[in-house]
Amino acid sequence: MSNPQLTQKLEQTIQNIPDFPKPGIQFKDITPIFLDPQLYEEVIADMANFSRGKIDVVCGIESRGYLFGIAIAVALQVPFILIRKKGKLPPPFVAQEYDLEYGSAEIEMRTGQLKPGQRVLIHDDLLATGGTTEAAAKLVEKQGGEVAQFSFLIGLKDLHGTDRLQQFNAEIHQVLEY
């Protein structure tokens, strides 16, 4: 777990927006973190410490997974690969479909950026049901990458996203849990 001082600062900074974008959803607005460069730096240090020496590449999930993911990669001096939503990447790319509450979605990654055998950190801002992250992990495995770690700024305990990620046998870090 992260240090209690950082956790407390983040709890005071992240805003809870009830019933957004749908009734019943408590939206976590992380944008105030970016108004406080020192706090942002502390978050990156915490995330980088978790992954130091254990990964060869960071894969970040569009779009809020880029906000911390690139900084983690730079801090650790490893490459960063974008996982994008369908239709944004030019070919060639690899795709993975996953189920949504209603219908399905797809995420994609440029072919050839991830090398077989590389140890991967999959990063996103928030772990809810784990559906998006599970698809990202399958995308990594499809290309011969080893899913070594998952990291999130926030994990929503009640949605049991971590249960869904157990199949990958990877370490999981959540800076803050609600």
Q: Whose Cβ is closer to ligand AMP: residue 56's or residue 141's? A: 141
Rg (alpha carbons) of the chain, rounded to whole number: 16
Taking residues 26 to 45 in sequence order and writing x for each that binds ligand AMP by CB under 6 A, - otherwise, the string is xxx-----------------
Q: What's the min distance (Å) between Cβ of 51 and ligand AMP?
A: 19
Answer yes or no whether residue 7 interacts with ligand AMP by CB under 6 A: no
* 21 or 37: CB nearest ligand AMP: 21
Q: Is the CB of 101 or the CB of 117 nearer to ligand AMP?
A: 101
Encoded tokens for 45: 């240090």
86 binds ligand AMP (CB under 6 A): no
Binding string, residues 118-157; x marks residues near ligand AMP by CB under 6 A: ------xxxxxxxxxx------------------------
Dist CA 148 CA 136 (whole Å): 13
- Taking the CA atoms of residue 132, residue 79, residue 7 and residue 67 in that order, the dihedral angle to the nearest 10 degrees is -70
Q: Please provide the size of the chain in residues.
A: 178
- Output the DSSP codes for 55-114: -SEEEEETTTHHHHHHHHHHHHT--EEEEEETT-SPSSEEEEEEE-SSSEEEEEEETTSS
Q: Interface with ligand AMP by CB under 6 A: which residues?
A: 25-28, 61, 64, 124-133, 161
